[in-house]
């Protein structure tokens, strides 16, 4: 393994010996069961240290070994690591190197925190690690994190689902290079839906991205938010349109660690949700009669009243 290995900040000279392998059961405590190893895959959020969850911070604090992606995760997250914890930068580690650490953890009863950016359910190489842990018979837990797409929406001050404008969010990336897209998953195909799209891992091919978005059917004036290193100290957030996306990316020389939000929801205004309308009732709130009549009239006028009766029933029961 070529990974750099350090101990956590503030470690005392002897701190490296203060690991679970030293505190694991030994001859003096025959009754104690051997401590089992554990791998916790931790979502560290988009960058800002205070976007780490309490559960993530606890998993890092309890770890004997912390594996983190120095290029994607801010160093502040390591402040949660205990003095003496072994710190490995995954940048130079292959999956085999990481699995070797998990094997050691299994043998020696160590707790490993494997830190990923954002949420581990998205482009984190998470599944292959879960599968290897199953093969090793070591317990694995996943701690969710704040994904970059929700962090960028928050910075932009936008909700990604707007009534009657966009009710779906597509999380995707451009195909090509090392990662071909499965059939039917090209950005061009998803763009046909015209709803909100979050595009990861694609800044280096902004020309291709713009072409696929336009060919898929987004009008050129569709709003786009581009965020580079969102929540980091040097965060850059730009607003443009699908028509100006490529020139904006190139002007600012963005090629990595950049996320795109695309779709009409990013500028829609003047709409309101059905659920919080005073004319809507559900299990926890009565409708105001006048507002209920007004709501019904508005829905009839917009043609929504013709919707199937079953759908109406679900709505009124608070099911939507
Ligand atoms: C390997 S993927 C990991 C995604 C991560 N699991 C998540 O939920 O955000 C890395 C890509 O996520 C996006 N990304 C992650 N953190 C970001 C941030 N702080 N600002 C902008 N984009 C970010 C970029 O598109 C980047 O190329």
Distance 120 CA to ligand 1 centre (A): 11
Same domain, 20 and 108: yes
Give residue 68's domain range.
5-146
Same domain, 302 and 320: yes
141 vs 320: CA distance, rounded Å:
31
Query: Ligand 1: which atom is nearest the Cα of residue 235?
Result: 20
Instruction: Give the count of beta carbons closer than 10 Å to the beta carbon of residue 286.
Output: 9
Same domain, 81 and 96: yes
pTM beyond 0.85: no
Domain C-terminal end among 240, 266, 292: 266
> Which residue from 127, 200, 227 has its CB within 8 A of the most atoms of ligand 1, so it is best to mutate?
200
pLDDT of residue 179: 78
pLDDT of residue 31: 61
Distance 226 CA to ligand 1 centre (A): 12
Q: How confident is the prediction along the chain (320 residues), in pLDDT tens digits per residue?
A: 434 456 654 433 333 333 333 344 444 445 666 789 999 999 999 999 999 999 999 999 999 999 998 888 899 999 999 999 999 999 999 999 999 999 999 999 999 999 999 999 999 999 999 999 999 999 999 999 999 999 999 999 999 999 999 999 999 999 877 778 899 999 999 999 999 999 999 999 999 999 999 999 999 999 999 999 999 999 999 999 999 999 999 999 999 999 999 999 999 886 666 666 677 667 777 677 667 766 777 777 766 544 333 333 333 333 34
Same domain, 116 and 225: no
Query: Ligand 1: which atom is nearest the Cα of residue 120?
Result: 6
3-state secondary structure of 232: coil
Instruction: Give the count of beta carbons closer than 10 Å to the beta carbon of residue 125.
Output: 14
Q: Which residues are near ligand 1 (CB < 6 Å)?
A: 46-47, 116-119, 122-124, 147-148, 200-201, 227-231, 256-259
> Which residue from 118, 178, 238 has its CB within 8 A of the most atoms of ligand 1, so it is best to mutate?
118
pLDDT of residue 300: 76
pLDDT of residue 30: 56
Same domain, 184 and 222: yes
pLDDT of residue 24: 41
- Answer yes or no: are the C-beta atoms of 249 and 226 closer than 8 Å: yes
Phi, psi of 316 (to 5 degrees): -70, -25
Same domain, 157 and 230: yes
Domain C-terminal end among 84, 113, 146: 146
Helices (H), 1-114: 20-23, 54-61, 95-108
Instruction: Give the count of beta carbons closer than 10 Å to the beta carbon of residue 88.
Output: 22
Domain C-terminal end among 146, 175, 207: 146
> Which residue from 229, 257, 261, 262 has its CB within 8 A of the most atoms of ligand 1, so it is best to mutate?
257
Distance 67 CA to ligand 1 centre (A): 18
pLDDT of residue 72: 86
Number of independent structural domains in the chain: 3
> Which residue from 259, 260, 261 has its CB within 8 A of the most atoms of ligand 1, so it is best to mutate?
259
pLDDT of residue 293: 66
278 vs 295: CA distance, rounded Å:
9
Distance 69 CA to ligand 1 centre (A): 12
Phi, psi of 16 (to 5 degrees): -60, -20
Tell me the helices (H) and strands (E) count for the chain, helix number first.
Answer: 10, 11
pLDDT of residue 288: 76
Same domain, 166 and 292: no
């Amino acid at each position: 393994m070529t990974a750099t290995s350090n101990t956590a900040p503030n470690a005392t000279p002897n701190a490296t010996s203060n690991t679970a392998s030293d505190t694991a059961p030994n001859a003096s405590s025959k009754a104690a069961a051997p401590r089992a190893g554990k791998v916790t895959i931790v979502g560290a959020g988009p960058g800002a240290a205070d976007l780490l969850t309490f559960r993530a911070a606890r998993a890092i604090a309890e770890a004997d070994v912390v594996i983190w992606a120095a290029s994607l995760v801010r160093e502040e997250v390591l402040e949660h690591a205990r003095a003496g914890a072994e710190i490995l930068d995954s940048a130079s580690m292959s999956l085999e190197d990481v699995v070797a650490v998990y094997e050691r953890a299994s043998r020696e009863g160590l707790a490993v925190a494997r830190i990923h950016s954002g949420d581990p359910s998205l482009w984190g190489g998470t599944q292959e690690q879960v599968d290897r842990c199953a093969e090793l018979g070591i317990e694995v837990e996943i701690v969710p994190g704040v994904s970059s797409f929700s962090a960028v929406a928050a910075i932009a001050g936008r909700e990604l689902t707007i009534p009657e404008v966009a009710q779906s969010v597509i999380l995707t990336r451009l195909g090509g290079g090392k990662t071909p897209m499965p059939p039917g998953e090209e950005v061009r195909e998803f763009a046909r839906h015209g709803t909100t799209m979050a595009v990861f891992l694609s800044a280096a091919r902004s020309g291709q991205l713009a072409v696929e978005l336009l060919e898929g059917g987004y009008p050129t004036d569709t709003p786009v938010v581009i965020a580079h290193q969102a929540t980091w100290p040097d965060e850059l957030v730009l607003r443009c349109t699908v028509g100006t996306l490529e020139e904006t990316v190139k002007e600012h020389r963005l090629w990595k660690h950049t996320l795109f939000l695309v779709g009409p929801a990013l500028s829609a205004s003047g709409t309101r949700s059905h659920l919080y309308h005073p004319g809507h009732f559900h299990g926890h709130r009565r409708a105001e009669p006048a507002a209920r009549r007004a709501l019904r009239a508005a829905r009839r006028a917009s043609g929504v009243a013709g919707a199937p009766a079953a759908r109406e029933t679900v709505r009124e029961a608070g099911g939507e």
